[in-house]
Amino acid sequence: MKRLRRIAKLVLLVIGWLLLTANALVFNNTTGWGLFLFYSGFLLVTLLSAGPSLKRVQLKTASVHYGQSGQVFTLPVEIKARRFWLPFFQVRLREDYAQGQQFFFYHGQKLQLHFPLVLNQRGRFEKPPLLLSGGDLFGMILKEQTCQLPSTLYVLPKEDPQGKKLGRKVQQQLTNQLFGEVLPQIKGYREYRFGDNRRQVDWKISARQRSLTIREQEVGQEIRPLLLFWGQEGPDFEVALSRYYSMQKELPLGTPQYLLGQTVQLVETERLFAEFTGFTEVPTTPTWKNQDLLVFYPKMDAQLQGKITDWRKQNRVTLYPLMENEPSASSSAHHGKQVSP
């Protein structure tokens, strides 16, 4: 449709020129020739100013950009008009979710432009498309070309106030707890001797053997905090991810954490939060030992309960529900409470 309109405009311009030419030749008066010369000049400027190719407009920007869902991101773009044989050239850049901007260029000019983009969706976007349009000085002839910026835009999860509040709470708990403490491991058993600490008595074995039996313990490895996000797909997945993302931003930089999704990923860069996808089938997780696992989840179900049972065998586990409709620490023995192996 746009192409037909352009052709129709060009045909009308040519028809107008032919009519004025015929008028000047037939009546052969000053007015007729004056209109003919004026219209011929107008037509010549229109055709010449629409002549330069849009391929001569160069677009440059950084190779990687980071934005956050729900916010306005300003995309910087450098535009250079090269080898134009006319002093001015009209160019307009427009993106689907950005307001169009209109400029005039001359030979060799560089402009640093900024396009506000409303980021509505989390994800990774390769080579954002921009619509480059240009035409003559009078707007009679227009042409368009879609260009792809040589850049990758990572849109991170939306900022969540409840997640930030949870992050401050978790940070306080981590500060109050003695992390780096040593988890004792059982070396063997022996009979009770006078002076032994009664806390080391294994009462179950003592009852079976009908004599006091002591657990001999040896120093184990240090317990270290490790954050886990249970990324199960569901209606609350994006909200839970945004809440977890905002939460972990409140913790010290470098706190080890894993995202449990279609793949189990150790978080080493923020871009993982933009690319992360949830799972429908429970992924295989590493075998963690002597860790303080802080598990953040959107919803408790049998699959997560099974994983928690496995993790509890060799780790200490603390659970944090990310959704308001999940049971709190006061109503469940497994939520928001430390569970030691």
Could you report the per-residue pLDDT of 287-337, keeping only the tens digit for each?
998 889 999 999 999 999 999 999 999 899 999 999 976 554 333 333 343
Decide if 269 is inside a domain.
yes
| Residue 269 and residue 136 in one domain | no
Rounded to two decimals, the pTM is 0.69
Please report whether residue 24 resides in a domain.
Answer: no
Mean pLDDT of the chain: 80
Do both 203 and 236 map to the same domain?
no
Q: Which of 105-109, 113-117, 212-216, 279-283 has the highest mean pLDDT?
A: 279-283
Interatomic CA distance for residues 244 and 228, integer angstroms: 10
Q: Answer whether residue 27 is part of any domain.
A: no
Distance CA(84)–CA(51), nearest Å, equals: 10
Instruction: Tell which wins on pLDDT, 141 or 211.
Output: 211
Neighbours of 120 (CB within 10 A): 11
**CATH code (residue 172):** 3.40.50.20
Positive/negative CA dihedral, 61, 66, 68, 71: negative
| Same-domain check for residues 177 and 196 | no
Angle among Cα 272, 277, 281 to the nearest 5 degrees reads 135
Q: Which range has highest mean pLDDT (135-149, 192-206, 212-226, 296-310)?
A: 296-310
- Is there a single domain that holds both residue 297 and residue 212? no
Count CA within 13 A, CB hemisphere, residue 303.
15
Is the same domain home to 206 and 330?
no
Q: How many domains does the chain have?
A: 3
Based on the fold, state whether residues 190 and 303 are members of the same structural domain: no
Same domain, 250 and 333: yes
User: Residue 85: its pLDDT value, please?
Assistant: 54
Considering the domain architecture, whether residues 228 and 270 belong to the same structural domain is answered as yes
Stated as kind and residue range, the H or E segment containing 135 is: strand 129-135
Q: Which residues contact 119 (CB under 8 A, 6 or more apart)?
A: 67, 68, 69, 70, 71, 72, 73, 155
The reply to whether 59 falls in a domain is yes
* pLDDT band at residue 77 using 50, 70 and 90 as cut-offs: confident
CATH number at residue 119: 2.60.40.10
How does residue 75 score in pLDDT terms, banded at 50, 70 and 90? confident
Q: Is residue 39 part of a domain?
A: no
In a 13 Å sphere around the CA of 253, the CA atoms on its Cβ side amount to: 2
pLDDT digits (tens, 9 = 90+) for 160-196: 999 999 999 999 888 776 444 444 556 677 887 866 7
**Residue 196 falls inside a structural domain:** yes
Minimum mean pLDDT range among 2-11, 37-46, 178-187: 178-187
Asked if 97 and 80 sit in the same domain, the reply is yes
pLDDT: is 117 or 322 the higher one? Answer: 322
pLDDT band, very low/low/confident/very high, at 285 (cuts 50, 70, 90): very high
Same domain, 166 and 245: yes
State which amino acid sits at residue 207. Answer: A
With respect to residue 44, please indicate whether it lies within any of the assigned structural domains: no
What are the tokens at 140? 């009679």
* Structural domain contains residue 11: no
Is the pLDDT score of 262 beyond 90? yes
Q: What are the pLDDT digits (tens) for 103-116?
A: 666 666 677 888 88
Same domain, 165 and 269: yes
Higher model confidence: residue 293 or residue 219? 293
Q: Show the domain range for 330.
A: 161-181+221-339
Mean pLDDT of 264-270: 93
Q: Are residues 177 and 306 in the same domain?
A: yes
- More confident position, 143 or 305: 305
Q: What does the pLDDT read at residue 104?
A: 64
